[in-house]
A = this chain, B = another copy of it.
């Protein structure tokens, strides 16, 4: 079987969605340290063809590819799989170094490995790149059936569409049930949607710094991000592949988002009113906090496709686990999994009260775990020890 490598973040500017390569070769495409890779039994990035997909809103995609990475070994009973769901700008590379085709290192380092919370001696850990993304799975930069990038033709997705694609992907891998589905932020949305959509396939779920339904405030913060990308003079209505990439708008979006991910107290203690060294704000220079935000904007545009950012942001806006199910509370009551809910006490984007709603609503719920952090929403990534402890506890139940 041959696979089309689709969904390119890094090559979005040239419309290059990658060469056609045999699936077997994909596993070795990244140059990783052999010894540690042996211990982790890390697959590298692999690709699954899941066929055509009709979206919740009657959009059409086909044929669809889902990229994934895995660590550890699926046991004979096929009951030791754990699914890790990444956040907005994450990908399937949960742990591990940068490498060719992988411009960012693992986003949850330490989570997976021998004796790690997701112990590769015990679990087969898989992470899929989200549908609509740009790190291997089908997204707006992928080639449509006419051989041209989707661009503006890419359909609007919901979190539920993304989970439907993941269900098809794990079906292809022969995984019937998961010991746990784990995610934070947008990853938590998918983890919760998995838990409600396929209750018979999820024994535990761990939902961190997320929500049962995108709030008015979250949609409000997204609005100027979406508008900034669309107003970029290089955006061309979304059909910019083969032309300059609309990086300025994505950088603005990232600056807004990044500020929502942190806290006033942290920014004050870290930057205060300091000028960026060597610059004078009184004469056109930048404050240190401005330089910091620009850095984060610049870093993202080097690795992320603006169209994917739009598609995923709109998918997050669509998130409502109660849609078509009689509302959030009724949907949550149908959950059969053992659910661990956590939030960050200083999170100003995904409020602890939104996690409370999940914890209180699921049938086998228990009080949420409050992660203590000064970092706000990003605490779900920064406070690795607390996250590790709650995942260990969830898996010990």
A-side interface residues toward B, CB under 8 Å? 56-57, 156, 158, 213-217, 219-221, 223-224, 227-228, 231-233, 248-249, 251-253, 255-256, 259, 262-264, 267-268, 270-273, 281-284, 287, 289-290, 293-294, 297, 317-318, 320, 348, 351
Q: Secondary structure of the A side of the interface?
A: helix
Contacts of A216 in B (CB 8 A): 264, 267-268, 270-273, 287, 289
A226 nearest in chain B by CB position: B290
A227 nearest in chain B by CB position: B252
Contacts of A320 in B (CB 8 A): 273
Bound together, the chains give a CA A281 to CA B131 distance in angstroms of 19
Do B282 and A57 have beta carbons less than 8 Å apart?
Answer: yes
Q: How far is the CB of A214 from chain B (nearest CB, A)?
A: 7
Contacts of A294 in B (CB 8 A): 223, 227
Return the contact of A224 from the options B213, B256, B268 (Cβ within 8 A): B256
Contacts of A270 in B (CB 8 A): 216
Most chain B CB inside 10 Å of its own CB: which residue of A56, A224, A317 = A224
Bound together, the chains give a CA A217 to CA B217 distance in angstroms of 18
Given A156-B284, A224-B228; A273-B57 close (CB under 8 Å): no
Q: How far is the CB of A216 from chain B (nearest CB, A)?
A: 4
Do A293 and B158 have beta carbons less than 8 Å apart?
Answer: no
Bound together, the chains give a CA A221 to CA B252 distance in angstroms of 11
Do A214 and B273 have beta carbons less than 8 Å apart?
Answer: yes
Contacts of A289 in B (CB 8 A): 216, 219-220, 223
Do B56 and A219 have beta carbons less than 8 Å apart?
Answer: no
Return the contact of A282 from the options B56, B256, B267 (Cβ within 8 A): B56
Return the contact of A223 from the options B56, B214, B273, B293 (Cβ within 8 A): B293
Do A221 and B57 have beta carbons less than 8 Å apart?
Answer: no
Q: How far is the CB of A323 from chain B (nearest CB, A)?
A: 9
Q: How far is the CB of A36 from chain B (nearest CB, A)?
A: 37
A232 nearest in chain B by CB position: B231
Contacts of A251 in B (CB 8 A): 227
Do A224 and B156 have beta carbons less than 8 Å apart?
Answer: no
Contacts of A317 in B (CB 8 A): 281, 287
Contacts of A290 in B (CB 8 A): 219-220, 223
Bound together, the chains give a CA A281 to CA B213 distance in angstroms of 14
Q: How far is the CB of A385 from chain B (nearest CB, A)?
A: 26
Bound together, the chains give a CA A293 to CA B225 distance in angstroms of 12
Q: Which 6 A/B pairs are nearest by Cβ-Cβ distance?
A: A217-B264, A216-B267, A224-B255, A233-B233, A216-B271, A231-B248
Q: How far is the CB of A236 from chain B (nearest CB, A)?
A: 12
Q: How far is the CB of A254 from chain B (nearest CB, A)?
A: 8
Do B227 and A259 have beta carbons less than 8 Å apart?
Answer: no
Do A217 and B255 have beta carbons less than 8 Å apart?
Answer: no
Bound together, the chains give a CA A30 to CA B370 distance in angstroms of 57
Bound together, the chains give a CA A251 to CA B54 distance in angstroms of 35
Offer 27 A-B interface pairs, CB within 8 angstroms, sorted by A: A156-B283, A156-B284, A214-B273, A215-B273, A216-B264, A216-B271, A216-B287, A217-B259, A217-B264, A217-B268, A219-B273, A219-B287, A220-B262, A220-B267, A224-B224, A224-B255, A224-B293, A227-B252, A227-B255, A228-B231, A231-B231, A231-B232, A231-B248, A231-B252, A264-B348, A273-B320, A348-B348
